[in-house]
């Protein structure tokens, strides 16, 4: 038989239900922020792949003039092209570290994840915080973009 004194009043039961609802909402929001980080980074990786492939194609295409002689469609500084591609590859690698680590992360929010030490394989020497990997990803992309633009503009100077 249940103990009458351990039963909660309707007001206490309502407070408990509201507390549980707030707790559940907070957990859902934390999980959603991590899902959004995953989708955001996955989108970036797609942009890096598409941009790199397009850039390499445009930078290396040769066309034939009216005399049948091949010439470069777009004159580029090849050293800068190589550096730009390396930067895009590093951005994609860093994004890959973030996305693959999210799939291994147990619970928490994107804030918790970004404070966690992550890295490829078990190579502890290159395990950094998620925030550092995001900095590597974004900085590499923007450096690659600037180098790609410079690779097109430099030959014209």
Instruction: Tokens 């500084």: give the residue.
Output: 77
Class of residue 150 by CB neighbours under 10 A (exposed 0-12, middle 13-18, buried 19+): middle
Res 144: pLDDT: 98
Distance CA 73, CA 132 (A): 38
Whether this prediction's pTM lies above 0.95 is answered by no
Res 11: pLDDT: 78
- Residue 79: C-alpha distances to residues 29, 45, 83, 84 (Å): 46, 24, 6, 9
Instruction: Give 10-residue mean pLDDT values along the chain (157 residues).
Output: 64 70 60 89 96 93 84 87 97 97 88 94 92 98 97 82
Q: Report helix, strand or coil for 72.
A: strand
Q: Report helix, strand or coil for 16.
A: helix
Res 90: pLDDT: 98
Looking at the DSSP assignment, which residues form a beta bridge with residue 62? 72
Q: Are 99 and 38 in contact (CB under 8 A)?
A: yes
Domain map (residue ranges) of the chain: 34-156
The DSSP string of 118-136 is E-STT-GGG-EEHHHHHHH
Instruction: Residue 102: count other Cβ atoms within 10 Å of its Cβ.
Output: 19
Res 118: pLDDT: 96
């Amino acid at each position: 038989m249940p103990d009458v004194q351990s039963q909660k009043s309707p007001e206490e039961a309502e407070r408990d239900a509201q507390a549980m609802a707030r707790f559940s909402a907070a957990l859902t929001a934390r999980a959603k922020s991590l899902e959004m980080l995953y989708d955001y980074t996955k989108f970036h990786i797609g942009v890096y792949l598409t941009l790199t492939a397009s850039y390499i194609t445009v930078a290396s295409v040769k066309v034939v003039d009216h005399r049948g002689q091949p010439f470069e469609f777009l004159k580029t500084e090849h050293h800068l092209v190589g550096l730009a591609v390396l930067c895009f590859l590093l951005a994609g690698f860093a994004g890959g570290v973030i996305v693959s680590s999210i799939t291994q992360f147990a619970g928490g929010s994107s804030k918790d994840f970004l404070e966690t030490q992550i890295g490829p394989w078990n190579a502890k020497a290159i395990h950094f915080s998620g925030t550092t990997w995001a900095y590597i990803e974004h900085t590499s992309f923007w450096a690659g973009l600037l180098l790609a633009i410079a690779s097109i503009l430099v030959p014209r100077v």
